[in-house]
Chains A and B, each alone.
Chain A
Amino acid sequence: MNFEIISPTTTDELLVAIEKCQNRHFRFGAGCTDLLMELKKNPADDLTVINLAQVVDDRLTNLTKTSKLYRLGSMFTAGRIVVNDELKTHFPVLHESAHNLASTQIRQVATVGGNLCTASPSGDIACALVALGARCEMLNTNGKSRSVAVTDFFTGPRKTVLKSNEVLYGISVPLNNKETAKIYSRFIKIGTRRSMECSVVSLACHIQTDAKGVILAAGVAIGASAPTIRLAKDACSSLIGKTFKKITRKEKEEFAATVLSYASPITDIRATAWYRKEVLFNISKSIFE
C-alpha cells in the first residue's frame, strides 16, 4: 500500500488541494477505515489521498442546530453520535445505527461523511439518514455549495453524485414535527453475530406520532436489499394518519409487502436473495409488534 497524502488544515487549503488534484487519481480520507482496508487489499498506483482529519473547521467536524435542522459536519464520528444526548433524543434511529456500526474502535474514527461516501448498500448510518430524510451538503472548489437528499446522493453501489471538484461538507437532518409526542424508532440490523457485522439486511425507521398516537410522519429505509439504500416511500406514506398502536395484522402485512417492493436483493456469500426478502418482510412487520 502506497500513496501520497495531502493534509490541509483549513477548508480553504482543502479546496485548493482538491483543485490541485483534478487531474490526478485522488481519494478523500476521513476516518480512513474503509479506505485503508480497500487499499491494503487492492493497492492503487499513483494515488493521492486528501486527508480530511486535520482540517480545522467547525462546519466540517461539529454538530450545529438551527430552527429547522441539526447539521452534522461530515467529519462527525459515529462515536460522537453515540454519546450525543440530543441526537439520541430526537433521532434515536441515528443513535442506534451508529451504535451498531462495526466496533467500538471503528466508531471512534469512522465518520458520517465516510459512511455516506463509501455508498455501501449496507451502510448503517447512511440507512438511518435516509429514513430521517437528511440532506447532503457538498462544497465545490469555487466555494459554492449545493445539497441533495441523502436518498438521491447514491447512484449505485459505491457511487454517489459527488463531483470530482466537490467534497461532502455536512449532513442536515430536519427537526421532528412540532406536534410529535412520541417517536417509534427501529434500527434493525440482520447478521449472524451481534457485533462486527455488515448487514445482510437492514431496516431503519423513524415514525412520529402525535399525543393520540396518530402517525404524523414516517421514514422507512432499507439497506443491503438493493444497489443503494432505499427509502420505502409508499410504505411511509401509507402510514400517515393511522394510529400506530391500532395497525391491524392485515395492514402490517400490506406495509411489509410494500417495503419489500423496494427490494431487489442479490445472492452473495452472506445470504441468498430469498433470505433477504423473507427477513425484510418479517422485520418490516415487526416494527408494529
Chain B
Amino acid sequence: MKKNSIKKETLHEVTFTLNGKKVTCKIKGATVLLDLIRDVFDLKGTKSGCNEGECGACTVLVNGAPVNSCLYLAINANGKQIETIEGLIGHDGTLHPVQDSLVQSGAVQCGFCTSGMAMAIKSMVDLYETGQHVPGDIRTELPSRDEIKKYLEGNLCRCTGYVKIIDAAEKLFAKEDCR
C-alpha cells in the first residue's frame, strides 16, 4: 500500500436542515447524501436500490427538487433543506396526502421503491402548486397521465407495473388545489 493512501482524511463540516431540523456533522469529502442519511442519521426509510442513479429508490428532496441521494455529494447539502420520507409523516402519525394516496390506490406492494416514489410525487405536486412545472405562465389544468409518467421515469418499480402509482399521483392532483 502506498503511504499516502492511509493518510488521515480531511473531514468537512456541513450544516443543513433535515426534515425541518437543523443538523451539523463532519463528513469525508466522498460521502454521498444517501449514506449520510441512512448510516449517520439512521433514517432507514430512504432506500438504496442500485447506488448508481438508475432506480430512484433513494430519492430525497434537496430544496424541494428530487435528487438521487446516492449520486449527491453530502458536502453539497450544506445550507440546504433536505427532506426524506420520514419528514412527510405528521407528528401525530398521519400520513402525508402523497403517502395516503399511494396506500389507498393500491400502489404499494413490496414497498422498496415507495419512499423514493413518494418523494418524487411530492416534488411534482409542489411544483404544480407553485406553477414552476413548465416554462411560461402558471398553467391551470392538471397534469396529464403522460406528464405524470414522464415525471416518474426515474423511479423503477418491479411489483406494480406503475399503473397504481400513476393512479395515486393522478388522484392527488385531482384533489389538490392546483392552479
Contact = CB atoms under 8 A, between A and B. Distances in A.
A and B touch in their complex, CB below 8 angstroms:
yes
Interface of A: 1-5, 7, 29, 32-33, 36-37, 39-41, 45-46, 49, 51, 53-54, 79, 82-85, 87-88, 95, 102-106, 108-109, 194-196
Task: Tell me the dominant secondary structure on chain A's binding face.
Answer: mixed
Consensus secondary structure, chain B interface: mixed
Contact of A105 (B51, B68, B133, B150): B68
A36 B9 contact: no
B12 A105 contact: no
Contact of B73 (A37, A53, A88, A95): A53
B53 A33 contact: yes
Contacts of B68: 33, 105-106
Nearest to B52: A37
B78 A54 contact: yes
B76 A54 contact: yes
Contacts of B2: 45-46
A84 B54 contact: no
Chain A CB count within 10 A is highest, among B2, B9, B71, B133, for: B71
B113 interface: no
A66 B128 CA distance: 31
15 contacts: A1-B30, A4-B9, A4-B10, A7-B75, A32-B71, A32-B72, A32-B76, A33-B53, A37-B53, A45-B2, A46-B2, A54-B76, A105-B120, A106-B68, A196-B54
B30 A3 contact: yes
A4 B31 CA distance: 10
Interface in B21-77: 28-30, 32, 51-54, 56, 59, 62, 65-68, 70-73, 75-76
B94 to A, nearest CB: 27
Contact of A53 (B29, B54, B76, B155): B76
Contacts of B51: 40
Nearest to B132: A83
A56 to B, nearest CB: 11
Contacts of A103: 53, 56, 153-155
Given A1-B30, A33-B53, A195 B4 contact: no
Contacts of A41: 52
B5 interface: yes
Interface in B64-122: 65-68, 70-73, 75-76, 78, 120
Nearest to B136: A85
Contacts of B72: 32, 109
B67 A3 contact: no
Contacts of A85: 135-136
Nearest to A47: B30
Contacts of B133: 83
Interface in B122-151: 132-136, 150-151
A3 B132 contact: no
B66 A29 contact: no
Contacts of A95: 135
A64 to B, nearest CB: 17
Contact of A5 (B12, B70, B71): B12
Contacts of A7: 12, 75
Given A5-B75, A195-B150, A108 B5 contact: no
A105 B76 contact: no
A288 B53 CA distance: 36
A117 to B, nearest CB: 16
Nearest to A52: B76
A79 B155 CA distance: 17
A104 B120 contact: yes
B172 interface: no
B165 interface: no
